[in-house]
Amino acid sequence: MQQRSTDDTSERDRKQDKKEKSFLRELPVLILVALVLSFLLQTFVARVYLIPSESMEPTLHGCPGCTGDRIVVEKIGYRFGDPRPGDVVVFRGPDSWSTGYVSTRSDNVVIRGVQEVGSLVGLVPPDENDLVKRVIAVGGQTVECCDDQGRVLVDGKPLDEPYIEMDFPFTPGVVTCETEVRSGRCFGPVTVPDGHLWVMGDNRSNSADSRYHVADENQGTIPIDNVIGKARFIVLPPSRWGTIDSPEIQQP
């Protein structure tokens, strides 16, 4: 009986050792598969981005000293259609939007290589000036501000923008687009070139958006090709979990 017990224990130990060795052999393959899947998901399906500024307050938080929102940006939808007015999009800033951008990569060649690999699988942010704004007008439309109530106009029709809580003062008869001291809301008219978008931050009084870049070669608009995807969800911090509203803002 003692001999059988010893034999059984030895057999269990051999099986356990075999399982551990098998797992160790398979581990590099599992890691490689996980990295490839992460790369494919981040590149073609969705990626998490950090909101770095307060230009989209209160829709998205990115105020100085606070915990910036992390948002899921979905990349599939715009492969089958273009962004529409009301969509919140993440895009690569054109050259004129990236004047003050500083690379996040190390000067050390080895470390920079590791950072680039990490970026491919989503462990490190991409080294590009990624921005988030709301689409206000698309190619062929003319956008300007303001009507007599201080609203943005697209093709002469006022927009319904329920997400705006912070904007420049506009008081009929006191501060408008016709008074000696013009309202900070006033701009345009600008006709958006085909294949481009006019974008603005929800925090209208603190957003370096299309209005700020209206003197550049694209009149402040951004190429649709620069759009990475549509902002769909807030995933961090947990207190702000939820979807990102993209209402129809243009009146029929």
Catalytic positions are 55, 133
The residue with tokens 């550049």 is 216
In sequence order, which ranges of the chain are alpha helices (DSSP H)?
2-40, 109-120
> Does 146 sit behind a cis peptide bond, omega within 30 degrees of 0 on the bond before it?
yes
Per residue, the 3-state secondary structure of 179-241, as one string, reads CCCCCCCCEEEEECCCCEEEEECCEHHHCCCCCCCCCCCCCCCEEHHHEEEEEEEEEECHHHC
Measured on CA atoms in the order 59, 63, 68, 72, is the torsion positive or negative?
positive
Amino acid letter, 79: R
Q: Is 225 exposed, middle or buried (0-12, 13-18, 19+ CB in 10 A)?
A: exposed
- Degrees, nearest 5: CA angle 93-44-26: 130
Chain CA centroid to CA 119, Å: 16
